[in-house]
Structures are given as structure tokens and as C-alpha cells.
Amino acid sequence: MYRLLFSLFLSKMDPENAHHLAFRVIRALPTLGFGRVVEQFTKPDPSLAVEALGRSFPSPFGVAAGFDKDGFGVRGLGNLGFGHVEVGTITAVAQPGNERPRLFRLVGDRALVNRMGFNNGGADAAVGRLSRLARRRHRPVLGVNIGKSRVTAVEDAVGDYERSTRVLAPYADYLVVNVSSPNTPGLRGLQELDALAPLLETVRAAAGQTPLLVKIAPDLVDDEIARICELATRLGLDGIIATNTTISREGLRASAAEVERIGAGGLSGAPLAARSLEVLRLVRAHVSDAMCVISVGGVETADDVQERLDAGANLVQGYSAFIYRGPLWGRQVNRGLARIRRERAAEASVTV
């Protein structure tokens, strides 16, 4: 039914307008009293529960940052079966983001291109909302992703991140430093070690006991990724998220004219899958088993998610496929993961 709805209606809408429409429904689930009813149909099998970052996740599969920028839909997304929701990116200063249009579908590639530009209401506005969420016992694990405010010069980025950290870290189950979005001028330069080390040191101190992760780009060369892994280990970070969107346009089915028409922005979805998996394996090879690695980029099915778990991910996130799979996507993945585990257990018992 969702495929028909997408084909006949949603795909004809501006992608950002379609997202807002769907998000209003998700946000309304718990407030209208439907959330718990829906959850009985979507909740993960207990066998999928995983421990990571000092928290218990009901499923290893969650929603990546970017879908819920300000934390309005966390409970509704939990009702749909997602084990964790990473909100953001949130900046210290509220900002409208880039001019529209800024979100584009590549339907034939099952991909998205976005140049949203960290549109959000700012850290101070998010505090009340996130603090109320943090006090709720029945909710998915809450991650908070922070980035640099556009009005802040790159050379002043450390103070900008520190301010967001002090405001938001007390209400996050884990905190993510985003230095890898291609849509904020100068941001990716903060992945260079000379800039990244003092930034992460400062945020680490400001975060207190909140687990801290850094999110990296897929466009880094392998040696750069290895050095960031070494830095994260040296600084005692709790994890790495691999990866953000890519600026590459290689291997797309879309015509060159369509790609040129869309223009700049981060590409996400199926075309990112191969590189995201490569980066995951590289990261896992350079960090200890104790460090949490979250894989994101191009996952759509339960088999995709299980492949990332087999490659060493502790948790897996998705976003773009939500647009193509619809509101039961989390349920589909969770049911598929439970099936895979049952099949593997049955095979193991036969072998024994």
C-alpha cells in the first residue's frame, strides 16, 4: 500500500514537504494515544536487544540524524520499532538552513541528495524538549548530534561545540560531534587532526559522563580514517559513526543532466552502501572491540543491517530508505533480523 501511496502521491510532492507531512503523522502517534497500539505491531523481538554505550537498545537498528532535527518525533519513531533515534544536527545558534529547494530524490537510485544546512531551532530551544524526553522511561535510546553554527567562524568552532555540549549533553544517552556534513562551509576541514584533536578534547571534557562519538565522512581517504581512529582511541572517545553523506556522484543511474540540475549536496541511500561498508570494516580494524561503532549509509533491508553487524558494527542506522519503504520499515527490518537469527541458531544446532 505504501508503494502505491508513494508512487501516486508522495513522489509528486516536493520532497521536503512530503517529509514534513509524514513527520507530522509520526509526531502525532503518541499524543493521539495510538502509539502504544502501533507499538504492539512494530516492537522488536526481545532477542534483538543489544548493550552498547552503557545503554540497553531494544534493537540494533535506529534512525540516523537528519530525520528528526529538533527532537519532536522521538517517541513516535520509537512506536514504529526503532531502537534508538539520533536527533539533530543541532547547533548552538538557531538557523534556517540553506534556501529551498534543498532536498531531492533520485528514485531510480533509491537515494537522496540534501543540502539542508543544519536547519534547526538551536540548542537552547531543544533543552526543554530533550529534558522531558530524558525523564521518560518508555522511549527509544536518545542520541544528540551537534554541529557548528553557520554564523560561527571555523576558527571559533571549538567554543561553539562546547556551548552546545554543555547545554545538551545532560539530556542525551549519547552525544555525537558532527564534523562531516558537506553542507556547512568549512565544516569538513575540522576532520583534519590539527583541528579535530582540540575540538574533541574540549567536547569530551564538557560532556562529562555522557558517551561521546564522532561522525566521519565517507570521502576521507583510508589513511585519514585510520588516523582519526587512532585519535579517538587516544582521547578515550566512546565510539565512531561511519558514515555521513558523500559528495561523490559516481555510479548513479540518474542522468548527468538530472545530477547537474540538482547540484551540490550530500548523497545518501543505496549508492553509498559499498563505501560505507568499506569504512566500517576499516574503522573496526583500527579500534578496539570496546569502542562502539555505528554504521550508517545505504542500508535498507534486514540483510543489509545484518551484514553491517557481521562486519563489526554494534549499531546500525538508516534514513533515506524510510522515504522508499514507509512507516513500517523499522518493523520490516526488526522482523527480518529476528528471522535471520532464528535461521542461524537452527543451522548451528544442526551442525552441533
Q: Catalytic site residue 288?
A: no
> What cell numbers appear for 342 in the block?
532464528
Check: CB of residue 71 under 8 Å from CB of residue 82.
no
The DSSP code sequence of 40-67 is HHHPPPGGG-EEETTEEESSSEEEPTTS
> What cell numbers appear for 257 in the block?
543532466
As a whole number of Å, the end-to-end CA separation of the chain is 43
Cα–Cα dist 41/275, whole Å = 34
> What cell numbers appear for 147 in the block?
554541529
φ, ψ of residue 50 to 5 degrees: the values are -140, 145
Q: What's the DSSP call for residue 95?
A: B
> What cell numbers appear for 320 in the block?
533515506
Angle between helices 222-235 and 193-207 (to 10 degrees): 30
SS3 129: helix
Cα–Cα dist 60/305, whole Å = 9
Which residue in 181, 268, 295, 320 is the catalytic one? Answer: 181
User: Which residues are catalytic, by number?
Assistant: 181
